[in-house]
């Protein structure tokens, strides 16, 4: 009997091996059929490569690599900071010149300067090391200028020192809480009148897509996309709030989360009554605290929470709603989590408008104005009699930093150290005011107004840890 079992198993095992072999053999046969064509292709590719190499050599350049010794660009205030600089030259002519560097604060104050001679031969590379003495908590700009016989360039980097020690003053109006309580009460008076329409075109066998419509603050109609996986019964929710002027689309990424992406008023599909272009959205109603566009936009996000909470029947795990937002979405996310305790977990990337007064100060040092103060300054310049005091009088009700102490849920924040829209110092000052002890942040040293793959991988693991989902 054992022999029979042995035989059967051996036959089965052999069949499995043969199946694999057959598949492999079929591939080999197919491969042979393509050999002739493949050879021609390979020859053509080789020729292209040689021509590309000739072109590269004709495009002479000097290639710099500038890396901080700490990959995340963060240091403690009791340690020195160091950068490794590697320069490679493809110039046929030897490149003689200098490498000079400055270290400046966010306020453009020079902390350190230095200079090193350069002498690079054709196809050679040299390594340099720059050590910066201990600095006080803050963010610093490390600008490297390379000037040689045929090459001139400036490479900018930013490093941070003990960012958790940064402090800022909260300019929170005395009636901040009352203002938002009244706003929430006004939202409650508006019947949501939810409409959920299946979108068969965008649905797949794995995901059902719905267009959701509802009435929000001031009786404005807003819309969003709801995506429900077909595999499973009850799901945690990934509730995404929008970036500035970014229309939302169905989020088909996750197989084990319900995704809800909302277009706040004037955004994407929510432009029935409010049609604003991105040039003027952030200054719409800016002279009146009660009419500023973000009052309604934040309430739209709260109305989105109302929608999720009232649709348990769609498989929503109402105890596991996590809110995510980037840039303006970061601001909306922080405000939502501060005002609505139903938010279980919050993740924000490059949160816009954080510590708005500090962002104003830092942006004043820029050679060229960028968003958002490009819009705010333009408004100021084109509205005689409008003062910055007027601006702050309204904006202090919307600065995410003033919402931050009311955020009690776990928070993960990601920032790019080269970000000019949301300077890291402003973001960190806001972060340090968050009311929760369960908060973490990730810096991406070489990113501007975005984060990277590693951040999103960390976020994915962090979320599952916070929500206790596999």
Partner 1 sequence: MKKIYLFIILFFVGWVNQAQAGWPIGKYRNVVIPSFNYYTSHDGWNSAGQKVKGAPGAGFTSYAIGLYMGYGISRRLDLVVNVLAPQQNSSYRNFKDSLIKQQSSGIGDMQVGLSYNLVNFGYKSFLSVMGSGIVPLYDTTKTVALGYATYGAELKLMYSGGIDNGFLKHTYYNMEVGYRRYFDTQGPNVLLYTASLGIPLGKRNQIGFEGSGQYSTSTNKAFNPNLALNKDYSFTKASFDYGHTFTRRFSVFVTSFYTLVGRNTGLGYGGSVQLICKL
Chain contacts with partner 1 (rule: CB under 8 A): 2-3, 5-6, 9-10, 12-13, 16, 206, 231-232, 255-256, 453-454, 457-458, 461, 464-465, 468-470
Q: Kindly tell me which of 17 and 196 has the beta carbon lying closer to partner 1.
A: 17
- Whether residue 326 contacts residue 413, with contact meaning beta carbons closer than 8 Å, is answered with no
In the bound state with partner 1, the residue whose beta carbon lies nearer, of 222 and 442, is: 442
Specify the residue, 313 or 461, whose C-beta has the smaller distance to partner 1: 461
CB of 148 to partner 1, least distance (A): 34
Of the candidates 138, 136, 120, 305, the residue with the CA atom closest to the CA atom of residue 212:
305
Q: How far is the CB of 28 from partner 1 (least distance, A)?
A: 13
CB of 309 to partner 1, least distance (A): 22
* Residue 14 CB-density burial (10 A; 0-12 exposed, 13-18 middle, 19+ buried): exposed
CB of 233 to partner 1, least distance (A): 8
Q: How far is the CB of 463 from partner 1 (least distance, A)?
A: 11
CB-nearer residue toward partner 1: 5 or 78: 5
CB of 3 to partner 1, least distance (A): 7
Nearer to partner 1, 99 or 467 (CB): 467
* For partner 1, the closer CB: 219 or 256: 256
HEC letters along the chain:
CHHHHHHHHHHHHHHHHHHHHHHHHHHHHHHHHCHHHHHHHHHHHHHHHHHHHHHHHHCCCEEEEEEECCCCCEECCCCCEEEEEEEEECCCCCEEEEEEEEEEECCCCEEEEEEEEEEECCCCEEEEEEEECCCCCEEEEEEEEEEECCCEEEEEEEEEECHHHCCCCCCCCCCHHHHHHHHHHHHHCCCCCCEEEECCCCCCCCEEEEEEEEECHHHCEEEEEEEEECCCCCEEEEEEECCCCCCCCCCCCCCCCEEEEEECCCCCCCCCCCCCCCCCHHHCCCCCCCCCHHHHHHHHHHHHHHHHHCCHHHCEEEEEEEEEEECHHHHHHHHHHHHCCCCCEEEEECCCCCCHHHHHHHHCCCCCCCCCHHHHHHHHHHCCCCCHHHHHHHHCCCCHHHHHHHCCCCEEEEEECCCCCCCHHHHHHHHHCCCCCCEEEEEECCCCCCCCHHHHHHHHHHHHHHHCCC
| Least distance in angstroms from the C-beta of 470 to partner 1 | 4
**Least Å from the CB of residue 205 to partner 1:** 10
Beta carbon nearer to partner 1, 50 or 465: 465
Return the number of the residue (11 or 42) whose C-beta is nearest partner 1.
11
Nearer of residues 228 and 274 to partner 1, judged by Cβ: 228
Output the smallest distance, CB 31 to partner 1, in A. Answer: 11
CA 287 to the chain's CA centroid? 30
Smallest CA-to-CA distance from 297 within 376, 241, 346, 357 is with 241
- Identify which of residues 360 and 441 has a Cβ nearer to partner 1 in the complex: 441
CB of 365 to partner 1, least distance (A): 34
The strand order across the sheet containing 221-229 reads 195-198, 207-215, 221-229, 258-263, 235-241, 316-326, 345-349, 411-416, 439-444
CB of 407 to partner 1, least distance (A): 22
Q: How many CB atoms lie within 10 A of CB 221?
A: 17
Vertex 440, ends 439 and 445: CA angle to 5°? 155
Pick 266 or 416: Cβ nearer partner 1 = 416
Closer of 3 and 189 to partner 1 (Cβ): 3
**Least distance between partner 1 and beta carbon 392 (Å):** 41
């Amino acid at each position: 009997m054992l022999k029979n079992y042995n035989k059967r198993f051996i036959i089965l095992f052999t069949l499995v091996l043969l199946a694999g072999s057959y598949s492999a053999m079929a591939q080999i046969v197919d491969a042979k059929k393509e050999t002739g064509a493949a050879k021609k292709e390979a020859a053509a590719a080789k020729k292209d490569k040689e021509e590309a190499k000739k072109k590269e050599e004709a495009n002479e350049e000097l290639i710099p690599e500038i890396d901080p010794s700490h990959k995340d660009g963060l240091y403690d205030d009791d340690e020195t900071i160091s950068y490794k600089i590697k320069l490679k030259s493809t110039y046929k002519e030897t490149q003689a010149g200098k490498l000079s560097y400055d270290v400046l604060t966010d306020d453009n104050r020079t902390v350190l300067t230095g200079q090193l001679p350069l002498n690079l031969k054709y196809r050679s590379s040299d390594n340099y090391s720059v050590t910066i003495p201990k600095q006080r908590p803050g963010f610093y700009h490390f600008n490297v200028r390379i000037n040689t016989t045929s090459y001139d360039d400036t490479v900018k980097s930013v490093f941070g020192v003990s960012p958790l020690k940064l402090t800022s003053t909260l300019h929170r109006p005395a009636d901040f809480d009352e203002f938002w309580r009244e706003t929430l009460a006004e939202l409650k008076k508006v019947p949501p009148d939810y409409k959920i329409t299946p979108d068969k075109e965008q649905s797949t066998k794995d995901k059902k897509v719905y267009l959701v419509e509802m009435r929000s603050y001031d009786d404005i109609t807003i819309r969003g996309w709801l995506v429900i996986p077909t595999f499973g019964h009850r799901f945690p929710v990934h509730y995404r709030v929008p970036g500035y002027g970014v229309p939302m689309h169905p989020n088909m990424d996750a197989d084990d989360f319900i995704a809800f992406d909302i277009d706040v008023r004037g955004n994407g599909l929510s432009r029935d009554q409010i049609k604003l272009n991105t040039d003027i959205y952030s200054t719409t109603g800016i002279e009146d605290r009660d009419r500023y566009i973000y009052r309604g936009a934040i309430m739209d996000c709260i109305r989105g929470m109302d929608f999720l909470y009232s649709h348990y029947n769609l498989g929503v795990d109402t105890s596991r709603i996590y809110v995510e937002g980037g840039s303006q979405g970061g601001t909306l996310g922080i405000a939502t989590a501060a005002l609505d305790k139903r938010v279980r977990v919050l993740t924000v990337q490059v949160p816009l408008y954080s510590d708005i007064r500090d962002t104003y100060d830092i942006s004043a040092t820029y050679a060229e104005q960028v968003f958002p103060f490009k819009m705010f300054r333009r408004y100021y310049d084109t509205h005689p009699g409008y003062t910055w005091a007027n601006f702050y009088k309204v904006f202090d009700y919307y600065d995410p930093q003033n919402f931050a102490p009311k955020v009690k849920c776990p928070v993960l924040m990601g920032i790019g150290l080269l970000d000019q829209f949301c300077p890291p110092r402003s973001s960190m000052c806001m972060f340090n005011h968050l009311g929760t002890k369960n908060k973490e942040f990730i810096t991406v040293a070489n990113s501007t107004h975005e984060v990277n793959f590693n951040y999103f991988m960390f976020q994915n693991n962090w979320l599952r840890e916070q929500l206790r989902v596999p």
